[in-house]
Copies of this chain bind each other. A is one copy, B any other.
Amino acid sequence: MPKLNEHYQDLKESYLFAEIAHRVAAYTQAHPDQKVIRLGIGDVTLPLGSLALAGLHEGVDAMASPDTFKGYGPEQGYAFLRDAISAYYARSGVSVDAGDIFISDGAKSDTGNIAELFDADNVILIPDPVYPVYVDSNVMSGKKVTYISGNAENAFLPMPDPAVHADIIYLCSPNNPTGAVYNREQLQEWVNYALANDAVILFDSAYEAFITDPDLPRSIYAIEGAKRCAIEFCSLSKTAGFTGTRCGYTVVPKELVFTASNGVQMSLHAMWNRRQSTKFNGTSYIVQSGAAAVFTEDGMKQCRANIQYYQENARIIADTLTRKNIRFFGGVHSPYIWFECPNGMESWAFFDELLTRAQVVGTPGAGFGENGKHYFRLTSFGNHENTLEAMKRFEKLF
């Protein structure tokens, strides 16, 4: 009989968004006449920009003729896209070698799969609250996780404790779910800590495109020394509305070399390259063709127009919470607004209350960790009318 990976027994029963979908389905079935507004899952709603669409169509057209047909591509992604992403970094003053960029089908795959490169015997710091994939992918492979506390006191931006040693550190900024953004000094402190501990930072910058303040770092590589300690994950999901089109990228600098127990020097870049070459066959050429259009200056202008639309929604939500004197985080350089549930409610109870009394769907903070138990996440990815309507109902409720 096969011995199964019993670490799966240590996973929490149900994935957050499945449970939300389940409760919403039950409610709408019982109340088919009610208009439910979804500000829960972080999914975009605006169509792709015309340049991305043209790039995708061109990608399909290439498949129509033997002269332009594309079979297996490089597992690391096509040079045209890696170069375009490198140039995109350069435009915000960050130097990233195209050869260090790996194209993938999304940051969820990469942030999940990266755990494969590490042994179970590591001190792994993960913020609480946090995007559940970091924790679950480690639990699945039998790794122990140490939580670092994000809370109202530190504005949900946990900082390193020099007295505590770590080997691997997950950071997400702008943060999912809290919307909090590390500034340059704070990230420098994390990089210094990582270098002092010979640790690796796994930095998720999937929401970087929502940062409008030029003083806030949009990449860990804007920080001195980061290439010697950090891997960065990014995605076109929120930048370009690719949640259903699927494209992400991961930067693994060649500088990341560590000594194994037998004295052999092992390069994380070489390991990730081997992992991807063995268990991944590259991202669809069609998708890469569309993605390359996104990273042109005009393509990015179209993306920014969509992002501004969402940012206006965030402002609508933030204004309502401010009027209601509800403390919140995020909502400025992030599509997420994270607030304390009114009247000391727990987040799943508040979820049910908001769903049944205002027909608005949000995300219970408890789904992101212990520290989210009394918090709630709304997203700005709806359309204006729905967001306005949801906030009207919200104001009436409290």
Contact = CB atoms under 8 A, between A and B. Distances in A.
Nearest to A13: B274
Interface in A267-308: 268, 271, 274-275, 277-287, 290
A5 B121 CA distance: 10
Contacts of A50: 64
A6 interface: yes
B47 A69 contact: yes
Nearest to A44: B71
B281 A109 contact: yes
Interface string A36-75: 0000010111111010110011001001111001111100
A77 B8 CA distance: 22
Nearest to A9: B264
A63 B45 contact: no
B4 A278 contact: no
Contact of A1 (B44, B46, B259): B259
A113 interface: yes
A321 interface: no
B119 A3 contact: yes
A266 B8 contact: yes
Contact of A168 (B2, B66, B112, B264): B2
A245 B285 contact: yes
A118 interface: yes
B66 A116 contact: no
Given A45-B71, A64-B53, A277-B15, A284 B9 contact: no
B116 A278 contact: no
Nearest to A283: B246
B278 A137 contact: yes
A162 B195 CA distance: 55
A280 B108 contact: yes
Interface residues of A, number: 86
Given A3-B122, A63-B244, A278 B73 contact: no
A332 B199 CA distance: 54
Contact of A245 (B4, B271, B284): B284
Contacts of A278: 15, 112, 132-133, 136-137, 140
A43, A52, A69, A283: residue with the most chain B Cβ atoms closer than 10 Å: A69
A356 interface: no
Nearest to A248: B281
A100 interface: no
Contacts of A168: 2
A109 B108 CA distance: 14
Contacts of A197: 1
Contact of A133 (B108, B200, B243, B279): B279
B2 A284 contact: no
Contacts of A271: 4-5, 8
A43 B241 CA distance: 31
A277 to B, nearest CB: 5
A4 B260 contact: yes
Nearest to A55: B60
Contacts of A2: 118-119, 122, 167-168, 198-200, 258
A74 to B, nearest CB: 10
Q: Name the 3 nearest CB pairs between A and B, nearest first.
A: A112-B279, A3-B119, A70-B244
27 contacts: A1-B259, A4-B266, A5-B116, A5-B118, A5-B119, A5-B271, A11-B274, A44-B71, A46-B66, A47-B63, A57-B60, A63-B245, A70-B244, A71-B241, A105-B246, A105-B280, A105-B284, A106-B281, A108-B281, A109-B279, A112-B279, A113-B279, A244-B285, A245-B285, A245-B286, A246-B283, A287-B287
